[in-house]
Amino acid sequence: MSFNNCYHCGLDCGKKPVEFNDKYFCCNGCKTVYEILNANELTCYYDLETSPGTIPKDIKGKYNYLDNEDIIQKLLEFNDTETSVVEFYIPSIHCSSCIWVLENLSKLNKGVTTSMVNFPKKILRITFKNKSTNLKELVELITSIGYEPYISLEDADSKNKKVDKTLVYQVSIAAFAFGNIMLLSFPEYFEVDEFWLEKYKYLFRWLMFTMAVPVVLYSAKDYFISAYKGLRHKILNIDVPIALGISVLFIRSTVEIFLDIGSGFFDSLTGLIFFLLLGKFFQQKTYNFLSFERDYKSYFPIAVTILNNDKETSIQVKDIKKGDRLLIRNEELIPVDGILINGNAAIDYSFVTGESVPVIKQSGDKLFAGGKQTAGAIEMEVVSTISQSYLTQLWSNDVFNKSEQITIKNITDKISKYFTIAILLIALFAGIFWYFYNASMAFNVVTAVLIIACPCALALSAPFAFGNILRIFGYKNFYLKNAETIESISKVNTIIFDKTGTITSSDKTQLTYIGKELTKIEKKGLKSVLRASNHPLSRSLYEYIIATPFEEKPTLFNEILGKGIEAVIKNMNFKLGSSSFVEAKAINANETSIYIKINNEFKGYYLFKNSYREGTKEVFEKLGKEYDLVILSGDNDGEKPYLEKLLPKNTHFKFNQKPEDKLEFIKNLQKSGKKVMMIGDGLNDAGALAQSNVGIAISEDVNVFSPACDAILDAKLFNKLPKFLTLSKKTISIIKASFVLSLCYNIVGMYFALNGLLTPVVAAILMPLSSISIVVFVTILTNWISKKL
């Protein structure tokens, strides 16, 4: 029976193979994994990756501690008795096939709803049904297929993952070897004719070889691993030429030592690796310093209403303390974990679990951060504060991300690929030329070419430019979901505005009541109903009515987006909203109004005189020069004559639009080739925001937090909108300029390398310097263009 390598892991362990399905496996563990994948029609996994990871020989009983309920609750991020969410740090995640298998766990275990991988952080996020599976089964499953999670109960408390210091160790070893090899190489450099030095010259050479081996095998291993994996998947990544250059240097130097024909180039080799790693270390530290994730999440502008002696006050989430009592209105996000005190809680946890069926909660039940209340106002007591990074993590959930066909990242990857091919061809032809022209120079020229032409600077320009401008935008209260949003903004050619709550300000709205006078009880009931709503008109009317709301919550509350509210409180039936919704004759058809019906009796209506945001005219005039502008409103066209005078002539108007009408309107524009930006209030406009290429929600210190939007703009900065859009376009221009600069670096460096004027170690110093200068270039320019803000 012939047997070369295990079908699953690719290893030959030397033992008698296990045969199954005409395939051979090195052990029963590999056979079991193959059976799991085969039974669930996942064998295409082997087309992607033939050695997914090391499979533990014995996991039975290893995770028995996961039967302990206290430990389970520490590890779970979310648990509403029906559904749970957990995150695992998995060090063995390393390539596309790992992602593919781990994101298809639902086929291996029917209890898994979704599983998503954060590849850079090596984190697996699993959502599962408690009745179908449990934490222990999931851990055993992912361990059995080769992805053992790193579980530490200390980490469960602190949520801090183990800091990886590998790069520090790699730099340290390379620095130690480089310094000592340089010292041992001095006799060779100066050809000192001294008895003791000449006598121990061979010892020095072998010492240099001995110190170079761990540098190549450990310090430089990441370059070889990356190059190997890229080649296995037929990808020429930027580490291929680096790995080739290191290999050539090491092999040539080793041959010289073994054949006693020279001292080799171990000084250049270790110097090369040291400077490469030093540049990598500096880039990593610089990126951490500029990291927008750490910055913009810390001042994310979500506000929530806190109740203190029956007084309602808006505070930021970061100021919430344990024991605070919060008022969560209809469609508001629950920002922290807490206990339900009173109210009808129907929590939509689709933000967390992906499932939109509301979960009904009773007084005393636990509420988790990330849920959205959908049945009126509730009151809750805070049991634990939460970092705002958790909320923005939910906001950035891949479930809500939009895909673009062409991105800067794609362009960078494509350029890097052809760049690498060009480098290898140039190095080959240069080596052939110099071999015949001056054979002693051929080796140095080839190595220098492979090192100096590395497109690292090219790969760094976009992340640093995007990261820095996101950080700047965050400081100016314009919060973007991710870096791709900047690129999407730069492509927009049509901007659509909602009217109420977007270009109008609720702070300065003038209100008038027309109709039968309401009794004190009716006013209290009306205010109680409005208290639960988060719509801009409801908030304005709530502030206008002088009355104290009932302590009791409505026994029935139903807010129909774009239409109105139905509610029952103190045996009074309320219906308020548009004239058609309350089945009343429209008295002022051309004015914004809220019609009131109590106990099936039409009472009257509140008339709104809208106040437009400061700078609206100037914003539209500036944007009208570059974009097609549209007002897309659910209100009537009563203010159209005024808006036609206020806004540029090329502005289009569409009124009386239902939420579904707005969505269809945007779809039709996109079908005609338009790139659409929708700017709305985040409530009625959720569908339109999600459908648009870029959705921006205007925030007036209200906790309206929707995954549909790509950005949140502080309402006070509405007049800055044209500048933000201009900056986004300029950022893309800066990235393109950095591409050109990176190309110039490589052309100049290549010229000196091809002419034999550049040694490998000098090339190794210049390569990280070019990368660092690109980082400085994009950082300074993005800071400079943002000065106008």
Query: Who has greater pLDDT, 159 or 453?
Result: 453
Which positions ≥6 away from 171 have C-beta within 8 Å?
219, 274, 277, 278, 281
Q: Each residue of 275-292: pLDDT tens digit? A: 778 767 765 665 555 444
- pLDDT for the residue numbered 51: 40
Query: Once rounded to an integer, what is the mean pLDDT over residues 549-578?
Result: 87
Query: Who has greater pLDDT, 182 or 282?
Result: 182
Task: Spell out the SS3 assignment of 639-669.
Answer: CHHHHHHHCCCCCEEECCCCHHHHHHHHHHH
Is residue 620 predicted with pLDDT exceeding 60?
yes
Q: Each residue of 280-327: pLDDT tens digit? A: 776 566 555 544 444 445 445 567 788 887 788 877 777 788 888 888
- pLDDT for the residue numbered 120: 61
- pLDDT for the residue numbered 55: 40
Confidence of residue 424 (pLDDT cuts 50, 70, 90): confident
H or E element, residue 514: strand 504-515
308 strand-pairing partners: 311
Four-point Cα dihedral 434, 440, 441, 444, nearest 10: 120
Q: Each residue of 347-360: pLDDT tens digit? A: 887 767 666 677 88
Query: Once rounded to an integer, what is the mean pLDDT over residues 522-545?
Result: 86
Is residue 218 predicted with pLDDT exceeding 90?
yes
CATH number of 64-158: 3.30.70.100
Q: How far apart are CA 79 and CA 218, in angstroms?
A: 43
Q: How far apart are CA 693 and CA 183, in angstroms?
A: 60
Average pLDDT, the chain: 77
Q: How far apart are CA 602 and CA 595, in angstroms?
A: 8
- pLDDT for the residue numbered 213: 94
Place of tokens 């990808």: 235
Confidence of residue 95 (pLDDT cuts 50, 70, 90): low
Which positions ≥6 away from 11 have C-beta within 8 Å?
5, 26, 51
Q: How far apart are CA 192 and CA 238, in angstroms?
A: 41
Concatenated DSSP letters for 197-245?
A: HHHTHHHHHHHHHHHHHHIIIIITHHHHHHHHHHHHTT---THHHHHHH
Per the structure block, which two tokens stand in for 765? Answer: 């110093």
Q: How far apart are CA 556 and CA 674, in angstroms?
A: 43
- pLDDT for the residue numbered 189: 62
Q: How far apart are CA 285 and CA 266, in angstroms?
A: 28
- pLDDT for the residue numbered 216: 92
Per the structure block, which two tokens stand in for 45? Answer: 């996994």
Q: How far apart are CA 736 and CA 412, in angstroms?
A: 10
Share of the chain above pLDDT 90, in %: 8
Other residues' Cβ atoms within 10 Å of the Cβ of residue 388: 19
Query: Is the CB of residue 443 less than 8 Å from the CB of residue 251?
Result: no
Query: Once rounded to an integer, what is the mean pLDDT over residues 717-743?
Result: 87
Q: Each residue of 466-498: pLDDT tens digit? A: 877 887 887 787 888 777 788 889 889 999 998
Question: pTM score, two decimals?
Answer: 0.63
Query: Is the CB of residue 17 less than 8 Å from the CB of residue 9?
Result: no
Query: Once rounded to an integer, what is the mean pLDDT over residues 622-626?
Result: 89
Confidence of residue 391 (pLDDT cuts 50, 70, 90): low
Is residue 173 predicted with pLDDT exceeding 90?
yes
Q: How far apart are CA 541 and CA 530, in angstroms?
A: 8
Q: Does domain 304-386 sit in CATH 2.70.150.10?
A: yes
- pLDDT for the residue numbered 158: 46
The arrangement of strands across the sheet holding 601-612 comes to 504-515, 601-612, 592-598, 572-577, 564-569, 556-560
Query: Once rounded to an integer, what is the mean pLDDT over residues 646-653?
Result: 87
Query: Who has greater pLDDT, 43 or 84?
Result: 84
Per the structure block, which two tokens stand in for 310? Answer: 């029956």
Closest C-alpha among 274, 157, 279 to residue 218: 274
Q: CA dist 174 to 218, 338, 456, 507, Å?
A: 9, 51, 20, 63
Per the structure block, which two tokens stand in for 732? Answer: 């893309």
Q: Does domain 476-502+613-725 sit in CATH 3.40.50.720?
A: no
Query: Once rounded to an integer, what is the mean pLDDT over residues 387-396?
Result: 62
Q: How far apart are CA 563 and CA 543, in angstroms?
A: 21
Q: Each residue of 672-686: pLDDT tens digit? A: 989 999 998 766 677
Confidence of residue 157 (pLDDT cuts 50, 70, 90): very low
Is residue 219 predicted with pLDDT exceeding 80?
yes
Query: Once rounded to an integer, what is the mean pLDDT over residues 748-764?
Result: 77
Is residue 443 predicted with pLDDT exceeding 70?
yes
Confidence of residue 597 (pLDDT cuts 50, 70, 90): very high
Q: Which contacts (CB < 8 Å, 24+ apart) does range 411-419 have?
A: 412/458, 412/459, 412/461, 412/462, 415/455, 415/458, 415/739, 416/237, 416/238, 416/455, 416/458, 416/459, 417/235, 417/236, 417/237, 419/238, 419/453, 419/455, 419/458, 419/746
Query: Once rounded to an integer, what is the mean pLDDT over residues 385-401?
Result: 60
CATH number of 505-611: 3.40.1110.10
Q: Provide the terminal-to-terminal Cα distance of the chain, rounded to the nearest Å.
A: 74
- pLDDT for the residue numbered 42: 59
Confidence of residue 1 (pLDDT cuts 50, 70, 90): very low
